[in-house]
Amino acid sequence: MSSVREFGRTLTGPLGAPAGHLETFIEVPFALGDKKVFPDGLIRARRGAKTWTALVEVKTGTNQLAAEQLENYLDVAREHGFDALITISNEIPAATGLHPTVVDKRKLRKVALHHWSWTEVVTQAVMQKEYRGVADPDQAWILGELIRYLEHPRSGALSFDDMGPNWVAVRDAVTAGTLRGNDKAASEVVARFDALIRFACLQLGRRLGTEVTPALTRQEAADPAVRNASLVASLVNEGCMRAAIRIPNAVSPLSIEADLRASRLTCSFDVEAPKEGRATTRVNWLLRQLKDAPESLRVEAYAARVRGGAAELLRDVRENPAKLVSDPTKELRSFRIAQIHSMGGKRGVGRGGFIDSLLQAVDTSYADIGQRLKSWAAAPPRMRSVEEIEVEPGVQEDLPSAALSSQDDELSVHSA
């Protein structure tokens, strides 16, 4: 972080650090009462008269952050007037801004607590090196070595690899129809699901070179408990967990539905239909964008003032676009293009695992659908040439009836 200026700024800037010289230290000893504590690191950013300082605690592999240890470091930070405590581990919170470890909130009155997952650190490093760029060649090489190290299986910077100890029990209860809304295990599983969605965003964003984020309502973003309760209710009543991913410049968020009863994942994009032309013309506009897409995609068409929509497989719509037009008198307003994937049931990664099946579904659906679709835009009005303007019989050919001169006022006409 101190050697590669752009990378250090990318990580610390959102936390409130000034864009100045960055210093980093490891295992700085501090006295806390009658004992000494050794945070893994300390970061100090200076610019002019402003100084920003943060302690750092790091965990690798499956090691988890401990509340007592973090509270000790928060006490040290408060005593020394430091601004923040940053934690780094393989734990991925269910929502942005949440911390994976619950600590005494009274200790956060003067010190901020931030968390980076190792996946987030690797993603920011890749995006900085490959897409945003590093000005100095030596610094670019250093950042490349960091990426190479962190991506090694033995580095301890693991990816998301477990749906939690309650996954199998909740999955079986959903299948049997015995899951209850007050079951604590259900709340833990949906939290892991949201964490997996965040991990999928980081993975996809790393490949696309842009920031991909979960699509949440304002209420869900402000209060993660609302999101958790909604997911639990959906899981209990329908056997489904739903999420959406926002990808810059895509026609819509990528919607994801995990149906545990049917062992099926459905990923879809919505796109508004053109606002002009016949219904079949609007369907053909969509087909041209999907000319190289898999024929097994499901295409749904929604018309104005009509409940539900017509749905057909892409191969059938290609043969007969009119199949999506249930009522020619109704105006087609939008389309939904969906891809269905098999869902793994195992809690871990690998063949037959839920995690890998969802990550693959997200990547495949974006490649097959999302990156192909573009929003419709009306063509700009075209200026007509004199040759295209009809001339009224009996009128001089050099004075077309639709020309500007034919719109002269009464005085001009008399003068002519």
Is pTM, for the whole model, over 0.85? no
User: For 151-158, which contacts have Cβ atoms below 8 Å and span 24 or more sequence positions?
Assistant: 151/122, 155/60, 156/60, 156/61, 156/90, 156/118, 157/60, 157/90, 157/118, 157/119, 157/121, 157/122, 158/61, 158/62, 158/90, 158/118
Residue 399 has, within 13 A of its CA and on its CB side, a CA count of 10
**Mean pLDDT in residue range 214-220:** 89
pLDDT tens, residue by residue, 224-244: 889 999 999 999 999 999 999
Q: Which residues of 281-301 are buried (b: 16+ CB within 10 A; e: fewer)?
A: ebbebbbebbeebeeebbbbb
pLDDT tens, residue by residue, 9-26: 999 999 999 998 999 999
pLDDT tens, residue by residue, 337-358: 999 999 999 988 888 999 999 9
Helices (H), 239-328: 279-289, 314-319
Residue-range domains of the chain with CATH: 5-155 (3.40.1350), 167-370 (no CATH), 386-415 (no CATH)
What is the reported pLDDT for 186? 94
What is the reported pLDDT for 383? 82
